[in-house]
């Protein structure tokens, strides 16, 4: 199921001032992933740019990793909001502690890809997310992301 683009994304609602390259709505030169809650997890669609070429005409692995990381962040933000741990405009609540990426097949450079993320374990201290980049009905890359609660030290 494709995300509804008429409503604000998870990122636009919860972290509107974030400048992250992958998911920050406030980064005009970033990827600006827009993720939405869905029936089967958090979903997004992303259309690669010509600059994302891996040199062989496919989507670059570093961009794929960024998409998987930042889309998993949206799943974490959504879960944290459901648990009352974050509210719109609050400070960053979680940070990536690990990202285990598996590249399964080439991903296209000139067509939209879909992303789906599901939180598989969640507590106040950390969350684990399974995330996929899909195209043509097949996973092209998968990852397990570990997110830990962010507590800035003074």
CATH topology of domain 10-149: Thiol Ester Dehydrase; Chain A (3.10.129)
pTM of the model: 0.93
Q: Rounded distance, CA 92 to CA 4, Å?
A: 25
Q: Rounded distance, CA 42 to CA 21, Å?
A: 19
- How do the domains of the chain map onto residue ranges? 10-149
Output the pLDDT for position 13.
95
Per-residue pLDDT of the chain (154 residues; tens, 9 = 90+): 444 457 999 999 999 999 999 999 999 999 999 999 999 999 999 999 999 999 999 999 999 999 999 999 999 999 999 999 988 888 778 999 999 999 999 999 999 999 999 999 999 999 999 999 999 999 999 999 999 998 877 6
State the Rg of the chain over Cα.
15
Q: Residue 96 is encoded by which pair of tokens?
A: 């990536």
The size of the chain, in residues, is 154
- Nearest Cα to 37, choosing from 63, 53, 13, 61? 13
CA-to-CA dists, residue 106 to 2, 50, 70, 144, angstroms: 21, 15, 20, 19
């Amino acid at each position: 199921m494709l995300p509804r683009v008429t409503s604000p994304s998870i990122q636009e609602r919860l972290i509107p001032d974030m400048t992250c390259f992958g998911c920050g709505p406030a980064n005009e030169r970033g990827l600006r992933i827009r993720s939405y809650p869905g029936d089967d997890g958090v979903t997004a669609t992303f259309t690669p740019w010509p600059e994302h070429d891996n040199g062989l005409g496919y989507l670059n692995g570093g961009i794929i990793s960024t998409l998987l990381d930042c889309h998993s962040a949206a799943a974490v933000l959504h879960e944290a909001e459901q648990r009352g741990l974050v509210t719109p405009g609050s400070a960053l609540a979680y940070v990536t502690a690990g990202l285990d990426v598996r590249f399964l097949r080439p991903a296209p450079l000139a067509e939209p890809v879909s992303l789906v993320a599901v939180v598989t374990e969640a507590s106040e201290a950390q969350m684990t997310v399974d995330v996929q980049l899909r195209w043509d009905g097949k996973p092209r890359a998968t990852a397990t992301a570990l997110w830990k609660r962010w507590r800035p030290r003074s």
